[in-house]
Amino acid sequence: MPKVAESTVRRLSLYLRFLEEFEGQGIATVSSGALASRGGTTSAQVRKDLSFFGSFGKRGLGYPVPELADQLREILGLKRRYRVGMIGAGKIGSALVQYRGFRQRGFDIIAIFDSDTSKIGRQWNGLTICDISALERELTKQPIDMAVLVTPAEAAQPVADRLVGLGVKAILNFAPVQLVVPDDVVVKTVNLALELETLSYALASR
Amino acid sequence: MPKVAESTVRRLSLYLRFLEEFEGQGIATVSSGALASRGGTTSAQVRKDLSFFGSFGKRGLGYPVPELADQLREILGLKRRYRVGMIGAGKIGSALVQYRGFRQRGFDIIAIFDSDTSKIGRQWNGLTICDISALERELTKQPIDMAVLVTPAEAAQPVADRLVGLGVKAILNFAPVQLVVPDDVVVKTVNLALELETLSYALASR
């Protein structure tokens, strides 16, 4: 597969959402222009994004909605389910474990870990919060495909090192640190304050 | 001010975090190489990112840490505080209102709205959850600089329209929709499932 920019991958995810909406409305074919206007981009951008992955649709006829949706699911690795471990049972963790968007997309949180003895043993969404000291034992019994890291900043790198040691290849990191991981591990960091800073920059640069 | 890419702005936010760490450690000057290695980028990238905004530091001497941090705060619009309204008192909203990273960066949530009568009137972090029907009245009494939207998908656009009507120029949107707003309003959409999809793509494209 080609090496494509993350911005392209994000747009593919959005196109898939729009295609699913169109599918729900019984729309059979869609033009690049319609996909573009729904996503606030241009039809040239839509065609370019899709061209990385092959030839879709027919000139003048548009894209067949269910087929293109299916191909995007294939490209995005969404034709399977993923077992996700969550490390950190704080407020953000609590919101994420109940977030329906994950399960709808095929991401099942199957284990939760924390170091706080007042949290260990509690039930969250049918899952028992495990002691982080049992991380290796639990994840050997029930391996995960991805980890969501919602620990305090100082705990994030040591926990990431342990996850890497367990063979985890994908980490979604909410801790406000840049994790250092081997080249074959993919990390995506979400920093919520930083999202607000892109807004304050936009306001300040007017 | 120049029009710079969002990816540049995000790196500036990260550089500021690293500079504040260095400052806390009593480090007076830092090279572009040190900033780069802390942030997983190259010194050429650091110099290019900063060059958009003027000339910083002296060749061979590096950047003066407190001064550069201060200039980045100026560029990012972080030398003031922002009044933030939160629309939606669900699980993600509950996590965000208690998220210390916002206040640390100058973003104060000063009002919360919901349409659920079982939530209206409750106290969250010292704030009373207001009825969304009183949005115009409340935000006229106490105007906000930014809104955080954590409503269900179908409510997001109508609420965004009302916020725009109230003069709000910046929206952080967690609802899984693309909002349509006038050109002078900046919207940043955070889609948590989409973050996991960038990981599933990376795993699938190996």
First to last CA, chain A: 41
Average pLDDT, chain B: 91
Q: In order of start, what are the domains of chain A with their CATH numbers?
A: 6-75 (1.10.10.10), 82-194 (3.40.50.720)
CB B111 within 8 A of CB B85: yes
Please name which of A163, A5, A189 lies closest in space to residue B10, comparing C-alpha atoms: A189
ipTM of this complex:
0.89
CB A201 within 8 A of CB B75: yes
Of A10, A76, A101, the CB nearest to B192: A101
Q: Which of residues 158-177 of A touch B (CB under 8 A)?
A: 169-172, 176
What is the nearest CA distance from A200 to chain B, expressed in angstroms? 5
Q: What is the pTM of this model?
A: 0.85
User: What tokens were used for A39?
Assistant: 């996503």
Q: Which of residues 114-143 of A touch B (CB under 8 A)?
A: none
More reliable by pLDDT, B152 or B1: B152
Q: What is the DSSP letter of B43?
A: H
Q: Mind listing the pLDDT tens digit of every residue in chain A (206 residues)?
A: 557 888 889 899 989 989 998 999 999 999 999 888 877 788 999 999 998 888 777 777 789 999 999 999 999 999 999 999 999 999 889 989 988 889 989 999 999 999 999 999 999 989 999 999 999 999 999 999 999 999 988 899 999 999 999 999 999 999 888 899 999 999 999 988 889 999 999 999 88
Any CB–CB contact under 8 A between A55 and chain B? no
Query: In whole angstroms, how far apart are CA A95 and each of A137, A178, B25, B198?
Result: 26, 23, 34, 20
The strand pair at A127-131 and A82-87 is best described as unpaired
Q: How many CB atoms lie within 10 A of CB B91?
A: 18
Strand partners, B4: none
User: What tokens were used for B122?
Assistant: 């409750």
Contact B196 A77 (CB under 8 A): no
Give the orientation angle of helix B32-39 with respect to helix B6-24, to 10 degrees. Answer: 110
What is the nearest CA distance from A56 to chain B, expressed in angstroms? 19
What distance in Å separates the CA atoms of residue B78 and residue A200, rounded to the nearest whole number?
7
3-state secondary structure (DSSP) of residue A127: strand
Contact B9 A39 (CB under 8 A): no
Contact B6 A198 (CB under 8 A): yes
Q: How many CB atoms lie within 10 A of CB A182?
A: 7
Cβ burial of A39 (10 Å; 0-12, 13-18, 19+) is: middle
Residues from chain B that touch A171, judged by Cβ atoms under 8 A, are 199
